[in-house]
A = this chain, B = another copy of it.
Amino acid sequence: MTKEADDSVLRLRLRTIIFGTDTRAGRYFDIALIICIVLSVALVLLQTIGHVQVEYGEQIMMLEWFFTIIFTIEYALRLYCSAARLQYMRSFYGVVDLLSILPSYLELIFPGAHMALLIRVLRLFRIFRVLKLIRYLSEGNMLLRAMKLSGRKIFVFFFSISLLVMVLSTIMYAVEGPENGFTSIPQSMYWTIVTITTVGYGDITPHTALGQAIAALTMLLGYSIIAIPSGIVTAEIHQQMVHRRDLRRCPNCLKTGHDPEAHYCNRCGGELPEDI
């Protein structure tokens, strides 16, 4: 066997382990990677807590480099064994994999204290490692499809909300004015969104009677309008569920429309595939 062939066999085997999930080794690799991702993200979170950083700064930096090296090896292996390197590098996962190691190296290159802020932000970029987990989320498809199908309607909805927010903000700015915390229309827009989404921080609140009346109307109006995306998503999910039920087919007699809870075909008694 030539060296090339040998290399090709190794790449194929690695590819099965790294990109696949069917083999035992592939599953172990995935589990190990998930654990590394979760731990390294936890590390980024801990790092921002003042007294943890002071007490365990050194250990954290060491662990940080440990994970960086692991993810670098992972990225190198993926590049090495990928069938379509450029395509992988440009794909969503390729970019996320690169972004999850880049900050550590950039920090090494620009260590100057005068770039402290940039470094701090860069360090936080490591949180994007969490997006590596999306790879393992195969069930999100139905939800994503429902979201995508509703996309146009949701855009129309957001556009209408924007018009409403602008008009309401301007009215509230005129009524309440800067002396009651509505210092500018953008500030007033922040208040309107806080109110219309029913978040209601209370950092800015109307103080005049007229302002409170308009605010009350805004809440009730907003409440009715905000019911719309909920309605859109619900109707789409319902459609998807009916559609999915139609797709669940008995492999024996081809009957469709089985209950999501059914384990056996109610016509021929054949075992049904798992409901996805």
Contacts and interface: CB of A to CB of B under 8 A. Distances in A.
A107 interface: no
A214 to B, nearest CB: 11
Nearest to A224: B229
Contacts of A173: 48, 124
Nearest to A126: B170
Interface in A213-240: 213, 215-216, 219-220, 222-224, 226-239
Contacts of A193: 216, 219-220
Contact of A156 (B124, B137, B195, B213): B137
A234 B230 contact: yes
A231 B234 contact: yes
B230 A227 contact: yes
Contacts of A153: 139, 142-143
A173 B193 CA distance: 21
Contact of A230 (B187, B230, B243): B230
Contacts of A121: 174
A111 interface: no
19 contacts: A44-B170, A49-B184, A124-B170, A127-B185, A128-B167, A130-B167, A137-B160, A140-B160, A142-B153, A149-B260, A190-B216, A197-B198, A197-B223, A198-B198, A198-B199, A200-B200, A228-B233, A228-B237, A231-B237
A259 interface: yes
A216 B189 contact: yes
Nearest to A47: B185
Contacts of A156: 137, 139-140, 143
A36 interface: no
A-B pairs with the 6 shortest C-beta distances? Answer: A199-B200, A201-B202, A231-B234, A227-B230, A202-B202, A231-B233
Interface residues of A, number: 86
A131 interface: yes
A153 to B, nearest CB: 7
Given A124-B173, A190-B213, A227-B229, 20 more contacts: A45-B184, A48-B173, A50-B178, A127-B170, A130-B167, A133-B163, A139-B153, A146-B228, A189-B216, A193-B219, A193-B220, A194-B200, A195-B199, A201-B205, A223-B226, A230-B230, A231-B233, A231-B237, A235-B238, A239-B260
A149 B244 CA distance: 14
A197 to B, nearest CB: 4
Given A229-B224, A259-B243, A48 B127 contact: no
A93 interface: no
